[in-house]
Chain A
Amino acid sequence: MTVAPRGSIASPTTSLTDAEYATIVERLGRHPNAIEVGILAAMWSEHCGYKHSRPLLKRLPTTGARVVQGPGENAGAVDIGDGLLCVLKMESHNHPSAVEPFQGAATGVGGILRDIFTMGARPIAMLDSLRFGPLDEGRSRYLFHGVVAGVGHYGNCMGVPTVGGEVYFDPSFTENPLVNAMCVGIVERDNLTRAGAGAPGDIVLVVGSATGRDGIHGATFASAELGAEREEQRPNVQVGNPFLEKLLLEACLSLLPLGMITAMQDLGAAGLTSSAVEVAARGGRGIRLDTARVSRRESGLTPYDVMLSESQERVLLVVPPDAVPRVVEYFARWDLHSDAVGEITDDGEIAVLDDGDEVARLPIPLLTDDVPTYVRDARPRPAPAMPALPPEPADLGAALLALLASPNICSRRSIFRTYDHTVRADTMIEPGLGAAVVRIRGTTRALAMTTDCNPRYTWADPRRGAAIAVAEAARNLACRGAEPVAVTDCLNFGNPERPEAYWELSEAIDGLGEACRALGVPIVSGNVSLYNETDGVGIKPSPIVGMVGLIEDRTTVVGGQFREVGDAVLLLGPVGAELSCSEYLGGRGPTPSLDLDLERRAQLVVREATARRLLRSAHDCSDGGLAVALAESAIAGNLGFLGDPAIPERLLHEAEAAGQSRRLDAVLFGEGQSRFVLSCNPDNLTALTALADEHAVPIRRLGTVAADGFSWSGLFSLATSEVSLAWNRDL
């Protein structure tokens, strides 16, 4: 379809196109008034309406035996046994964070926490996936420090441990940083709460914070490119109050089991407008709101302001009339506002009143199902060619140290030590190396969780890069013996009206779908953030994958660090001497290959080996390849590694046989997929090898865990301390 210029209607703060406006007039049979235009612009924004992504998202697998709630609610939910559900969701707060990093990131955390507890679930862990420009740029440092401080500020105060996440630095994120926050919660099956309206006459309450002017037009702001005037958008950024949110969380979670709440919905993007519309739409009802009844924190707010404010720490409740006094009294005890602002109706429309006078009325379907969807022209970007390889370095040890110290590989400790990751006293495996593990008290189980997406891979090939993001996430979970049970994704892309960006989005969604199907894990929730673009230059496509895995017997869990001197060190999986697209090559060249069936089998071997207690450590090979994985396992265990001198020649031979470079740097730093560095008691070697053979996954012993020194005859000979010092640097 043809596209009219954007932003030409009514006010510069609406993003309705002329064609969209014409459609609205036709459906309504009249021109909408100013308040209605505000509501329509918010609900028809990309952020709320998923105009470009909805047709593509239908391709994703969202069902499975464990799925209790798929996409469409505040968050997804899967059955994890013992009568419990795991609730998960990831969401972006990119645009606000680009303008005001501290508050942007903080309120991103606040929003995702509300998505979890409005499902009735107790948040048990947070993860964050961040992207910035290179840290030698002043703006990137400012954004980086502000975002990290904002995430910590909110999460720490809430008492929810931040246990994982990842960060990449790449010039494509200089103007458009990414801030994606993921939250995982637990709820007893019977207490799962949904957000569909109840019966006509049920009362609609807004609880929590009073409403102010902050965040007005946040949804439309998040649905457009950031231009040079971005600093002027600062007033569109919300301000967070984690203390108030903590009260809201405790009040809501303690109220839910009493059975007085019909529906609960977070007030997020587009504030009262979207949550009222969504509640009504899910229940197939209408809704009537009187904005005069909403508590305000400042005077002079118009109905338009109240409907579109994105003030934080607010939740919408639907309550039967007879329960209202008790609910109001309950929140008052927590010093929280609870305003009865309206009621559920049976007319299928949203009516907005201002002290009794109707000021807006729109059909609910016009704001939900009738939001137009666009299928754009997709223009593939040719895959990058394999660059000529530089000469092999004379000193492979120096090359390893340089990689270990590079911003995309070095330790993330300087970030996660500012996040409380031990609160709740359930964090069994802390952030630092691979997936974190959080136990579930009262059961034998634990959950492993991770976020992954390598922007180099998704740039070179969005489809395979997205598939690798899924594979890598599941690989990280396999290292903890966890079976992947659910994915939440956050699709961060450029302007979908640009054919190349639309192609990236479409391809990445297909890649996610392929890998999720192959590995048997459904996508139960997610978020789409488009228009991460400035002056026509978009970010590297970033379909961030958040994945949760279930560990049946948490006493089997092993970490990524070497444990005992004398343990055998093995490489499970293909030799993987693919330098293409690697950190070592600066990301040049096509995305590494991915064999999803081999991936599935390799993960199965690691999970089964963990369940049979054959392993002492498991770590995946990702950025920096085999040598970096070996070094990380050694550093984290305060131990060393001694390579078997006969093995490099064998690996070179394997590489050659696989049609890869017969080069030692390719063996050490290549980023071939589906690989694990394992360590085990030598007594378990036979059983482990037999298990790998049974599933036709290559395995070979590389060497031995040493007390000191990181060396491999003919490759490198380094002191443990210099390896550790290179990696353990502050960002």
Chain B
Amino acid sequence: MKIAVVIFPGTNCEDETRYVLGERFGQQVDLVWHRDTDLAGFDCVVLPGGFSYGDHLRAGAIARFSPVMGAVAEAARRDVLVVGICNGFQILCEAGLLPGTLLPNAGGTFLSTWVHCRVASGDSPLTTGIEAGRVLRLPIAHGEGRYVADPDVLARIERNGRVILRYSDANGQVAEATNPNGSMAHIAGIASEGGNVVGLMPHPERAADPELSSQDGIPLLGALTRGNGRATLDAPVAVGTASGGASSVSTTRAGARRGSRPA
């Protein structure tokens, strides 16, 4: 599988995301600068965590206007796998590629802690093959993770089984006490109607290594990388951009020195 990990100014989880997908799961991973407008040839696009544009205004609110987002939307439309982790989830919601929005945590502060999440649906690129009800221990680290959607939107995603992860206790019971940020319906991750776009606040890439304190991100990323994806962007996608500085193809190979990133 060929995976694009998109870097916006302020993204800060690209390195470990590339490392885990590339070196632990053996995928070909390219880092893609946000000014690129071409995602041709990728089977999967990952928007990693961080603080794109410093979370100024609202998390993800500025990144959705980045030149690359046209190609991300095109990828989503063409059934290519698109995954947003943390800030990536926020960007996908801001861009309208996933329903709902992510508001400041109910507790009012940034929260970096381990949580348990119950797999709510096995019908998504991240949860295929994982039995519903399985509990995963994953880290979260966010200030704006409270998932909110209109009642009818929430009803629809629940009805269609588009909630993929819910915050729970270690036994899979959901309750206010184990909901770290006040998300509606304890939602930690969702999938799009088409199923190919997913977003989640927990960081599976921080829990995918035997040396770290949990390996529960492995089933999620394993599900993502097990197949060959659903579709591939096979032709360059021409997308108008506001920026005159947009370059053409300037991705770097997995494992490339970090120095060559935005050349």
Residues of A within 8 A of B (CB): 122, 149, 152-153, 156-159, 241-244, 246-247, 250, 253-258, 333-335, 416-428, 430, 439, 441, 554-555
For the complex with contacts A157-B51, A157-B54, A555-B211, 17 further pairs of A-B residues with Cβ separation under 8 Å are: A149-B109, A156-B141, A158-B12, A243-B56, A246-B51, A334-B9, A416-B112, A418-B109, A420-B110, A420-B141, A422-B139, A422-B203, A422-B206, A424-B15, A425-B205, A425-B206, A427-B212
Pairwise interchain contact A159-B112, C-beta atoms closer than 8 A:
no
Chain A residues closer than 8 Å to B56, beta-carbon distance: 243
- What is the chain B residue whose CB lies nearest that of A421? B112
A414 → chain B closest CB, angstroms: 10
Interface: B50 (CB within 8 A): yes
Nearest CB of chain A from residue B40's CB, rounded to whole Å = 23
Q: Pick the interface stretch among B88-96, B122-130, B255-263.
A: B255-263
Contact of B20 among A149, A255, A421, A425 (CB under 8 A): A425
Please, could you name 22 A-B residue pairs with CB atoms under 8 Å apart, sorted by A?
A152-B110, A156-B112, A157-B10, A157-B51, A159-B12, A242-B54, A247-B10, A250-B261, A254-B258, A254-B262, A255-B259, A256-B259, A333-B245, A334-B262, A420-B141, A421-B112, A422-B203, A423-B16, A425-B19, A425-B20, A427-B212, A554-B211
Q: B12 to chain A: which residues have CB within 8 Å? A: 157-159, 246, 423
**Could you tell me the distance between the alpha carbons of A346 and B165 in the complex, rounded to whole angstroms?**
65
A423 and B259 contact, Cβ closer than 8 Å, known pairs A417-B111, A418-B112? no
Contact, CB under 8 Å: B10 / A254:
no
Report the Cα distance A242→B15, complex, angstroms.
19
Write the chain B residue with the least CB distance to A148: B109
Asked whether B111 lies within 8 Å of A439 as measured between CB atoms, the reply is no
Q: How far is the CB of B104 from chain A (nearest CB, A)?
A: 13
Closest CB in chain A relative to B36 CB, distance in Å: 13
Q: Do A425 and B16 have beta carbons less than 8 Å apart?
A: yes
**Interface contact A246-B9, CB-CB below 8 Å:** yes
B79, CB-defined interface residue at 8 Å: no
Residues in B whose Cβ lies below 8 Å from that of A243 = 9-10, 51, 53-56
Beyond A157-B10, A157-B55, A255-B259, is A425–B209 a contact (Cβ under 8 Å)?
A: yes
Query: Are B259 and A258 closer than 8 Å at their CB atoms?
Result: yes
Nearest-neighbor residue (CB-CB) of A156 within chain B: B110
B212 touches A425 (CB 8 A): yes
Max chain A C-beta neighbours (<10 A), residue from B113, B205, B211 = B211
Set B51, B54, B111: member contacting A418, Cβ < 8 A = B111
Whether A253 pairs with B259 at a CB distance below 8 angstroms is yes
Q: Are B10 and A418 in contact (CB under 8 A)?
A: no
Tell me which residues across on chain B come within 8 A of A555, comparing CB atoms: 211
Question: Which residues of B55-114 are within 8 A (CB) of A?
Answer: 55-56, 109-113
State the CA gap A335–B54 with chains docked (Å): 14
Who on chain A is nearest to B11 by CB?
Answer: A159
| A241 contacts across to B, CB distance below 8 A | 54
Q: Which residues in A have their C-beta under 8 angstroms from that of B111?
A: 417-418
Chain B residues with Cβ below 8 Å from A153 are 110
Give the size range of B's interface with the partner: 35 or more
Contact B262 A333 (CB under 8 A): yes
CA distance A250 to B113 in the complex (A): 27
| B residues lining the A interface (CB < 8 Å) | 9-10, 12-13, 15-16, 19-20, 49-51, 53-56, 109-113, 139, 141, 143, 203, 205-206, 208-209, 211-213, 245, 257-262
CB <8 Å contact, B110 and A159: no
Q: Cα distance A427–B203 when bound, in Å?
A: 14
- A-side contacts of B203, CB under 8 Å: 422, 425
CA distance A333 to B244 in the complex (A): 12
For B51, list chain A residues within 8 Å (CB): 156-157, 159, 242-243, 246
Chain A residues contacting B262 (CB-CB under 8 Å) are 250, 254, 333-334
Contacts of B205 in A (CB 8 A): 425
Q: Does B9 contact A257, Cβ atoms closer than 8 Å?
A: no
Tell me, rounded to whole Å, the shortest Cβ–Cβ distance linking B113 to chain A: 5
Among all A-B residue pairs, the 10 with the closest Cβ atoms: A159-B12, A243-B54, A425-B16, A420-B141, A254-B259, A425-B206, A157-B51, A257-B259, A422-B139, A420-B112
Which residues of chain A come closer than 8 Å to B211, judged between CB atoms?
428, 439, 554-555
Residues of B within 8 A of A255 (CB): 259
Across-interface contacts of B53 in A (CB, < 8 A): 243
Q: Which residues of A contact B19 (CB under 8 A)?
A: 425, 441
CA gap between A153 and B10 in the complex, in Å: 13
A555 vs B212: C-alpha distance when bound (angstroms): 11
Closest to A332 in B: B245
Q: Which residue of B lies closest to A191 (CB)?
A: B259
Contacts of A157 in B (CB 8 A): 10, 12, 51, 54-55
Which residue of chain B has its CB nearest to the CB of A427? B212
Q: How far is the CA of A122 from the CA of B51 in the complex (A)?
A: 18
Q: For the complex, give the distance between the alpha carbons of A122 and B12 in Å.
A: 12
- A257: nearest residue on chain B (CB-CB)? B259
Which residue of A257, A335, A417, A425 is within 8 Å of B257 (Cβ)?
Answer: A257
Q: Are A247 and B9 in contact (CB under 8 A)?
A: yes
Instruction: Kindly name the residue among B15, B205, B208 whose own CB sees the greatest number of chain A CB atoms within 10 A.
Output: B15
- Interface pair B55/A430, CB less than 8 Å apart: no
Instruction: Compute how far the CA of A439 lies from the CA of B9 in the bound complex, rounded to whole angstroms.
Output: 26
Chain A nearest CB from B13 CB (Å) reads: 6
Q: How far is the CA of A247 from the CA of B261 in the complex (A)?
A: 12
In the bound complex, CA of A145 to CA of B257 (Å): 39
- CA distance in complex: A555, B211 (Å): 8
Nearest B residue to A559 by beta-carbon distance?
B213
CA distance A427 to B239 in the complex (A): 40
Residues of A contacting B209 with CB < 8 Å?
Answer: 425
Residues of B within 8 A of A257 (CB): 257, 259
Asked if B110 and A418 make an inter-chain contact with CB atoms under 8 angstroms apart, the answer reads yes
Across the interface, do B259 and A428 meet the contact criterion of CB distance under 8 Å?
A: no
- A253 nearest in chain B by CB position: B258
B140 to chain A, nearest CB (A): 9
CB A624 to nearest CB in B, in angstroms, measures 25
Q: Which residues of A contact B261 (CB under 8 A)?
A: 250, 254
Q: How far is the CB of B144 from chain A (nearest CB, A)?
A: 12
Rounded to whole angstroms, the CA-CA distance of A645 and B175 in the bound complex is: 43
Query: In the assembled complex, which residues on chain B have CB atoms less than 8 Å from the CB atom of A421?
Result: 112, 141
Within 8 Å CB of A554, what residues of B? 211
* Minimal beta-carbon separation of A372 from chain B (angstroms): 43
- A423 engages B110 (CB within 8 Å): no
Interfacial chain A residues near B257, Cβ < 8 Å: 257
CA of A247 to CA of B8, assembled, Å? 10
B24 to chain A, nearest CB (A): 10
Q: Which residues of A contact B49 (CB under 8 A)?
A: 423
Residue of B nearest to A244 (CB): B54
Q: With the chains together, A331 CA to B21 CA distance in Å?
A: 30
Q: Which of A253, A423, A428 contacts B141 (CB 8 A)?
A: A423
Contacts of B259 in A (CB 8 A): 253-258
Contacts of A425 in B (CB 8 A): 16, 19-20, 203, 205-206, 208-209, 212
**Inside 8 A of B245's CB, which chain A residues have their CB?**
333
By a CB distance below 8 angstroms, the chain A residues around B212 are 425, 427-428
Give the interface centre of A159, A242, A427, A441 by most chain B CB atoms within 10 Å. A159
